[in-house]
Amino acid sequence: MRSTPRWRNVAGARRVGRPVVVPALIAVNVVVFALTVVAAGSLNRNDASALFQYGSLVPGLVTDGEWWRLITSGFLHFGPIHLLFNMFALFVIGREVEGVLGRARLITVYAVSLLGGSAAVMLFSSPASQTAGASGAVFGVMAALAVLALRLRVPARQAFGLIALNIVISIVVPGISLVGHLGGLVAGAATTAALVYTPARNGPGLQIAAVSGVVVVLLALIGVSVV
């Protein structure tokens, strides 16, 4: 018997149909936002809720042992505009990246980018600062789009232009965590490069090892920040 070879993309992932991960991530962020709004009794001051205060990233509290904030902060947003901008960017860019990388690899890029943004905040922000938002993870997905364009040898000008525009916005608009955005950007680029430049023909073992190396570096940087 003969079988038709299964199509795999540049990262070694099988062809996916309709995006699943991106809508799921958006849904989780919206649900968490709604919970904070209900708890706070305010749409624009949802950060006053106990849930928000318990999950936002405060470096000093992470140093005291509240490690979950490194992750939970990525699903909290300061008001509806903050949420809308991040979810719109994720919707537009994330679907493209999911179509190329596949579902599992997109989740990997998103998660590591989120951790990268938190690591940068831990290293460079005040211990008493409060940070929240999916921006670090979204910047990582932007970086993934740029790396994929380079790997596939297609024009990358738009991807880099989008990144540059968002960095400028992060600098100009007050109250935005530039270091968190840059941390997610670097982590996303490194993770995507580990996925698309590491041979996958013999299985995902080398990719897992390469991505694990990125995570270990991020965890080491967080460890340095709490010493």
Summary mean pLDDT of the chain: 90
The residues pairing with 150 across neighbouring beta strands, listed in sequence order, are none
* Span 2-43, pLDDT tens digits: 443 444 566 555 656 688 999 999 999 999 999 999 999 999
- 94 backbone dihedrals φ, ψ, rounded to 5°: -60, -35
Mean pLDDT of 141-160: 91
Task: Identify which of 1-10, 134-143, 218-227 has the greatest average pLDDT.
Answer: 134-143
Instruction: Please check whether residue 69 is in contact with residue 62, taking contact to mean a CB–CB distance below 8 angstroms.
Output: yes
Q: Between 73 and 165, where is the model more confident?
A: 73
The maximal CA–CA distance of the chain, rounded, in angstroms, is: 65
pLDDT at 15: 58
The separation between CA 173 and the C-alpha centre of its own chain, rounded to angstroms, equals: 20
Mean pLDDT of 117-141: 96
* Span 170-187, pLDDT tens digits: 888 888 889 999 999 999
Mean pLDDT of 93-120: 96
pLDDT at 125 over 50: yes
pLDDT at 223: 95
Instruction: Please check whether residue 222 is in contact with residue 118, taking contact to mean a CB–CB distance below 8 angstroms.
Output: yes
Separation between Cα atoms, residue 196 and residue 148, nearest integer Å: 8
Taking residue 160's Cβ as centre, other Cβ atoms within 10 Å add up to: 16
Q: Which residues contact 146 (CB under 8 A, 6 or more apart)?
A: 156, 159, 160, 163, 189
Active-site amino acid positions = 135, 181
Separation between Cα atoms, residue 130 and residue 105, nearest integer Å: 29
pLDDT at 14: 60
pLDDT at 1 over 50: no
* Span 67-92, pLDDT tens digits: 999 999 999 999 999 999 999 999 99
Burial of 90 (0-12, 13-18, 19+ CB in 10 A): buried
Separation between Cα atoms, residue 76 and residue 213, nearest integer Å: 27
In terms of Cα–Cα distance, which of 24, 25, 120, 119 is closest to 77? 25
Mean pLDDT of 111-140: 96
Q: Tokens 């919707």 sit at which residue?
A: 91
Which of the four pLDDT bands, split at 50, 70 and 90, describes residue 53?
very high
pLDDT at 187: 98
Alpha helix positions (H), 102-134:
103-124
* Span 196-214, pLDDT tens digits: 998 766 678 899 999 999 9
Proportion of the chain above pLDDT 70, given as a percent? 91
